Homo-oligomer: A and B are copies of this chain.
Amino acid sequence: MNRTPNLLEVAKAAGVSNMTVSRVVNNSGKVSDKTRQKVLKAIKELNYQPNLIARSLARKKTNILGLVVYSEKGVHPAFYNEIINGVQQGASELGYDLLIFANSEKQSYSDRITHSSFVDGVIFMGVKINQNDIKNVHEKGFPYVFVGKREIEGINPYFISPDYIKGTKMATEYLIELGHTRIGLIGQSRMIEPDYDKLLGYQEALYKHNLVYNPQLVFEESQTQLDGYNAMKELLKQKPTAVIINNTYSTIGATTAIKEEGLRIPDDISVIGFDDNQELNEQFNDFIGLELSTIRIPKIDLGRQAAKMTISLLEGNDVSQANFIDLQFIKNSSCKKL
């Protein structure tokens, strides 16, 4: 590795002072055209690139966003990976890079993040978030955003979350407007916030249209294909005319169950899924020849917004604490008018 030139060497080569070079590099301040050309020439000749570490030290700003993903085995589910890609895009669009903090479950990040001055702000996400980290960062006034929605005792955290309530309500209403009244819901949960919100949205829609909530049409947590399959088998005994299913894997299992019972989509039952795993969703639909209507979680956009929100915060702008991002309803041919 051969040494890289620094500002002063460029300055010397161009016959100007350090600050003139700095001004040219940063396109700030006033520099005459003639001088600028000289400097640019020297920069090019020496192949100068500013040393970002030194710049960060002087500016007290790194233009780097931290990302902490709390996950179980150090492997993030596909769901988070897509959000991360979005975060990266959003950061990049505003001139920031992304520093992924190593995720050892035990370790607490907050001091490392706020004191080491390696990042200007931080984004938290994951199932097993450490509430203390968020609390500490919040209390120190360090810019951060939490992706998701969770009660954190004592504080009102900055967060951005998909609006599952609204999204599910919208989908449910769509079914109601098609004339459905016996609508199943696979995957509610009192424990998992997003799934609980789906239940709330579902209930709100029923309530709004004066339909009675029937717990027999609603099934607990459903994560895997098998969960979805089993739940659907049970649900079908209740003769529903439509069903909303909380994730891609369950949907695959559930539609398999529907087929097995000799029922057709949408003729015998209307189906709406969540495409939390878009790649899989598409693959599956293509293959089965199913054109599933889905509630889409705009994950890339979610990540992008999270990045922009964090940057907005660290730049000192006013940012509201609670932020929601709308789900998209992708209307397709898996639902039928009754």
Residue A98 interfacial (CB < 8 Å): yes
Interfacial chain B residues near A283, Cβ < 8 Å:
224-225, 249
Residue A47 lies at the interface, judged by CB distance under 8 Å to chain B: yes
Report the minimum CB–CB distance from A273 to chain B (whole Å). 15
CB distance from A281 to the nearest CB of B (A): 12
Known contacts A1-B140, A100-B98, A286-B226; decide if A85 and B76 are in contact (CB<8 Å).
yes
Instruction: Tell me the nearest residue of chain B to A90, going by C-beta.
Output: B102
Residues of B within 8 A of A4 (CB): 114-115, 117
A279–B49 alpha-carbon span in the complex (Å)? 43
Interface size class of A (residues with CB under 8 A): 35 or more
What does the 1/0 interface line of A96-126 toward B look like (CB < 8 Å)? 1111111110000001101111100000000
Check B49 against A57 for contact (C-beta < 8 Å).
no
Q: Does A178 contact B (CB under 8 A)?
A: no
Distance between A61 CB and nearest chain B CB, rounded to angstroms? 10
A 74-90 to B, binary, CB cutoff 8 A, 1 in contact else 0: 11111001100100110
A89 nearest in chain B by CB position:
B74
Q: How far is the CB of A314 from chain B (nearest CB, A)?
A: 9
Q: Give the chain B neighbours of A111 by CB distance below 8 A.
A: 47, 49
B287 and A2 within 8 A (CB)? no
Task: Assess A74 versus B81: contact at CB under 8 Å? Given A54-B57, A117-B52.
Answer: no
> C-beta contact mask, A1-29 vs B, less than 8 Å → 1, else 0?
11010000000000000000000000000
A293 within 8 A of B: no
In the complex, whether A329 has a CB less than 8 A from a CB of chain B is no
Question: Which of B49, B62, B114, B286 contacts A115, CB < 8 Å?
Answer: B49
Contact present for A85 and B92 (CB under 8 Å): no
**Which residue of B has the minimal Cβ distance to A142?**
B1
Asked whether A323 is an interface residue with its Cβ less than 8 Å from the other chain, the reply is no
State which of B82, B88, B96, B225 has its C-beta within 8 Å of the C-beta of A103.
Answer: B88
Tell me which residues across on chain B come within 8 A of A91, comparing CB atoms: 102
Indicate whether A64 reaches chain B with its CB closer than 8 angstroms.
Answer: yes
A106 CB to nearest B CB, Å: 12
For A280, the chain B residues whose CB sits under 8 A away are: 280
| B contact residues around A300 at 8 Å (CB) | 74-75
- A53 located at the interface, meaning its Cβ lies under 8 Å from any Cβ of chain B in the complex: yes
- Cβ B100 vs Cβ A229 within 8 A: no
- A99 near B102 (CB under 8 angstroms)? no
Task: Name the B residues within 8 Å of A76 (CB-CB).
Answer: 81, 85
Given contacts A1-B143, A57-B57, A88-B103, 5 further A-B pairs with CB under 8 A are A2-B141, A49-B112, A49-B116, A76-B85, A225-B286
